[in-house]
Chains A and B, each alone.
Chain A
Amino acid sequence: MILKEIAKILEASIIANPENSEIDIHSACSADMMSAVLYYHTPNSLLITSLTQPHVIRTAEIAGIKSIVFVLDKKPDKETIDLAQKKKIPLLSTSFCMYTASGRLFKEGLPGCLDK
């Protein structure tokens, strides 16, 4: 699923690296525990989270996560955005909660990270 379409489904704004909104996302994972992300991730995926600190970007980079959606209208600080820009990881912000954001994307056909 193209990131732009994900943004539309989540009624989300792209708050960093909008020029990368054409990337193809293969799956998604919803988590607030970073080591769970590192344990269960799959490459080319989307992370749906409510954490906004810079080390979330580092976690994404290391796990091969291509984009991050912040739920509940959470807005990362400048440090996080700067790091995302450096790593070219597009960031989205949606007002939906994690459950609803995940459900909306799943309903439109984006599978979970561990689904085969």
Chain B
Amino acid sequence: MPLNSDKTIEGSFQLVGGNFATAGEASGELKRTLTDLGVAEEIIRRAAIATFEAEINVIIYAAAARLLYFIGPSSIRIRIEDMGPGIENIEQAMQEGYSTAPEWVREMGWGAGMGLPNMKKNSDEFNIESVVGEGTTVEMVLNIP
């Protein structure tokens, strides 16, 4: 399905750790942009879910992050670079149900250990890199068929 644009559209966001009030702003904007471009609803939903989960992780675990998205004619690329504690064991973090979320986070409805698996499930390519004490970078690509 051709997009209503053949250029690459970019956007960026600054995310701040601990700030639940702005959770969903980046994914909301991405969703609106993709809707305006005429991307299929199912792909928009997957992109929005993956981005939202990434935003929430930044809010819970990191100090701050930069979220970038690039929408090209055949794919959506979303990159989240955070400054935070990093992840010591990525394989473990990727397991469904693994979570180190503290009690106050669980009381807000997060900390099921499903975020990273869901980001992976909703993207066609998923990449995560982390340096303990520095931060974590997640990159996701969704193909637009």
* Chain A contacts to B: CB under 8 angstroms: 32-36, 38-39, 43, 49, 51, 53-56, 58-59, 61-64
Q: Are A58 and B118 in contact (CB under 8 A)?
A: no
Q: Are B20 and A53 in contact (CB under 8 A)?
A: yes
Whole-angstrom CA separation of A55 from B28 in the bound complex: 12
Q: Are A61 and B20 in contact (CB under 8 A)?
A: no
Smallest CB separation, A93 vs chain B (Å): 17
Q: Residue-by-residue, is B112-145 near A (CB-CB < 8 Å gives 1, otherwise 0)?
A: 1111011001000000000000000000000000
Secondary structure call for the B interface: helix
Q: Are A38 and B53 in contact (CB under 8 A)?
A: yes
- Sort chain B's interface into a size bin: 20 to 34
* Chain B contacts to A: CB under 8 angstroms: 20-21, 23-24, 27-28, 31, 45, 48-49, 52-53, 56, 108-115, 117-118, 121
Secondary structure call for the A interface: helix
Residue in B45, B48, B108, B114 whose CB lies within 8 Å of A53: B108
Q: Are A51 and B114 in contact (CB under 8 A)?
A: no
